[in-house]
């Protein structure tokens, strides 16, 4: 079954700066065959409540920082629906048809950091085991307060990469495609210029700063 031709993005509000709206428009322009879906925080709560058991929304509501909520959402929405997720401050260079083959079930790419996989862009069919394992590990991290000041480990690339490793240990035949190149080799771009400045405005509003001064879980 082919990966559904749909794109998901999220941010705390639908009021996006002009530069972000441009990159969204450009992504739609390069992928006219894809449907585009944007979720703000209210949309995510509704989605989790309607699509998952109560444990999911109860756990999600324990998160205090937007970046961790976006992590939770990306795994959940692709597990339930399948498609492409891209961080709101990232962009594309080439259309997805040059990246995704019809028989792909999941397309992952190594990060430049050792032992990690890219998580700012996710490409999955629905119900993929990598996402289910990641959701299970993440929910356990949150409910045990395992890493109270570390989004990366609690909900981010660390737990996603561990989910991949554990799944392959349990079932080496799990279907996936490892992209030939680091961080999607320029097909996708991590952090377009000035995106962080216009989205967050104050350095103190960025999750890397926020997690230093408060626990990430209620």
- What is the tens place of the pLDDT at every residue in 112-137? 998 999 999 999 999 999 999 999 99
**69 within some domain:** yes
Residue 218 forms part of a structural domain: no
Q: Is 1 inside any structural domain?
A: no
Residues of the chain with pLDDT under 50: none
| Predicted local distance difference test score (pLDDT) of residue 18 | 94
- The Cα-based distances of 8 to 66, 75, 84 in angstroms read 16, 11, 6
How does strand 35-39 pair with strand 6-10?
parallel
Asked whether residue 171 is assigned to any structural domain, the reply reads: yes
**Amino acid 203: pLDDT:** 57
State the Rg of the chain over Cα. Answer: 16
Residues spanned by the domain of 142: 6-213
pLDDT at 208: 65
What pLDDT, on a 0 to 100 scale, did the predictor assign at position 197?
67
DSSP-derived letter for residue 97 is G
E strand residue ranges, 1-115:
6-10, 35-39, 83-86, 91-92, 106-108
Q: Cβ-count burial of 117 within 10 angstroms (0-12 exposed, 13-18 middle, 19+ buried)?
A: buried
Q: What is the dihedral angle through the alpha carbons of 208, 209, 213, 218, rounded to the nearest 10 degrees?
A: -50
The predicted structure's pLDDT at residue 209:
73
pLDDT at residue 205, rounded to an integer:
58
pLDDT given at position 218: 84
Distance CA 92, CA 70 (A): 19
pLDDT at 206: 61
Q: What is the pLDDT of residue 201?
A: 63
Contact between 130 and 105 under an 8 Å Cβ cutoff? The reply is: no
Question: Is residue 58 situated within a structural domain?
Answer: yes
Token pair for 146: 């395992």
What is the CATH number for 95?
Answer: 3.90.550.20
Query: Count of domains in the chain?
Result: 1
Strand ranges across the sheet with 6-10: 35-39, 6-10, 83-86, 121-124, 106-108, 177-178
Q: Is residue 204 exposed (0-12), middle (13-18) or buried (19+ Cβ within 10 Å)?
A: exposed
Residue 117 lies in a domain: yes
Is 23 within a domain? yes
Closest by CA position to 39, among listed 16, 18, 58:
16
């Amino acid at each position: 079954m082919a990966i559904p031709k749909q794109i998901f993005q999220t941010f705390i509000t639908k009021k996006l700066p002009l530069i972000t709206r441009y990159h969204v428009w450009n992504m739609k322009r390069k992928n006219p065959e894809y449907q585009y879906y944007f979720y703000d925080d209210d949309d995510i709560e509704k989605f989790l409540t309607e699509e998952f058991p109560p444990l999911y929304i109860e756990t999600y509501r324990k998160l205090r920082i937007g970046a961790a909520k976006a992590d939770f959402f990306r795994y959940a929405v692709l597990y339930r629906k399948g498609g492409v997720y891209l961080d709101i401050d990232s962009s594309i260079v080439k259309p997805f048809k040059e990246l995704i083959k019809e028989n792909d079930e999941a397309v992952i790419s190594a990060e430049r950091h050792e032992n990690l996989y890219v998580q700012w862009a996710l490409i999955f069919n629905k119900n993929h085991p990598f996402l289910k394992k990641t959701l299970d590990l993440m929910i356990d991290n949150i409910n045990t307060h395992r890493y109270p000041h570390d989004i990366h480990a609690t909900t981010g690339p660390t737990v996603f990469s561990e989910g991949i490793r554990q799944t392959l240990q349990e079932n080496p035949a799990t279907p996936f495609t490892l992209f030939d190149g680091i961080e999607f080799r320029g097909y996708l771009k991590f952090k377009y210029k000035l995106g962080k400045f216009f989205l967050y405005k104050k350095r103190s509003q960025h999750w890397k700063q926020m997690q230093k001064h408060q626990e990430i879980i209620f």
